[in-house]
Amino acid sequence: QEQPVESGGGSVQPGGSLRLACTSPGFVSDYCRVDWYRQPIGKPREWVSGLVNDGDTGYADSVKGRFTISEDTAKDTVYLQMNSLTPQDTAMYSCVIALPLDPGDCQRFKLYWGQGTQVTVSS
């Protein structure tokens, strides 16, 4: 029940845009952070972007200036807006939420991974 669910993936041409969504009941709680990862077929998983519960955000150098992470608390959803997509962005995109083992203590947490949504960028 804490596992997030991703949506919004698809196939687009280079230069196109997509907005991914990550929804989880865990956002109702005082979560530690939410992150987006991606994994091309046959390659290691790569960190893309993250959002800390105090509002701080971060991005991998490969997507900085093109991707934007945001939160809609009313919908228990975190978004990843992806612009100026290239074939190198093709991957399975997953979100993960970190929840504290004890309320208010993010020194110890548990990760809940979604199953991912596929993004394909090609001509």
Residues 22-38 pLDDT 10s: 998 766 667 899 999 99
Half-sphere exposure of 35 (CA within 13 A, CB side): 17
- The residue written with tokens 């994994």 in the block is 39
Asked if the model's pLDDT at residue 11 lies above 90, the reply is yes
Query: What SS3 class is residue 106?
Result: strand
How is residue 113 written in tokens? 């991974």
Residues 92-105, mean pLDDT to the nearest whole number: 92
Decide: helix, strand or coil at residue 104: coil
Check the CA dihedral 63-32-76-38 and report its sign.
positive
Alpha-helical segments (H) within the chain: none
